[in-house]
Amino acid sequence: MKRSFQLKALTVFVCAFLVSSIAFAQKGKDGKPIPSPRDSVSGTVAGSNIKIWYGSPSVKGRVIFGELEPWDKVYRAGANEATQFTTSKDIKVEGQVLPAGTYAFFVIPAKTGQWTVIFNKKAKQWGAFSYDKSLDQLRVMVTPKTISNQERMVYKLNKKGFSMDWATTSVPVTISK
């Protein structure tokens, strides 16, 4: 009985510690919430464990694509550090092979037509400032969709792939085996 109580107490303590650590980590030095907190989504798509780790900026009344993020320029697809995309197995993205691994994920927004989606071999980089096209593992074209306003950027996994949703734009990316 005593051992069971100790185990429960330890479990509660560990959970409380983890929750407070996460909450503390999302605050700046002044104790206020950071403007673009880190977020992630993970799950299984096409038999592979997928994880997307990103900074989640807010619209805050701004025009995002075409103004804050210019047309036809490489965008880190999040805030602060470049978004990271991890796949545990080789997958096909828009019909093209992407080997298992961790990549920096970028997009090139287009005013009309398709957007370029990029998986870059240099997974850890700050924004797109040191982006090097020669390190691209894969580039594919996708067609964005118009959505109702999504205030905070979010990545969503689904059985067909994933999407990056922000402002009035959704960028769907298809994944298969």
Percent of the chain surpassing pLDDT 90: 77
- Asked if residue 52 lies in contact with residue 162, where contact means CB atoms within 8 angstroms, the answer is yes
- Asked if residue 60 lies in contact with residue 92, where contact means CB atoms within 8 angstroms, the answer is no
Q: In the prediction, which pLDDT does 21 show?
A: 41
How far is it, in rounded angstroms, from Cα 133 to Cα 116? Answer: 12
How far is it, in rounded angstroms, from Cα 126 to Cα 29? Answer: 20
Please classify residue 164 by burial: count the beta carbons closer than 10 Å to its beta carbon, then call 0-12 exposed, 13-18 middle and 19+ buried.
Answer: buried
For 101-154, how does the pLDDT look when each residue is reduced to its tens digit (9 = 90+)?
A: 999 999 999 999 999 999 999 999 988 888 999 999 999 999 999 999 999 999
Backbone φ, ψ for residue 80 (5° rounding): 65, -115
For the chain, the straight-line distance linking the first and the last C-alpha, in angstroms and rounded, comes to 50
The angle subtended at Cα 133 by Cα 131 and Cα 41, nearest 5°, is: 60
How far is it, in rounded angstroms, from Cα 154 to Cα 9? Answer: 35
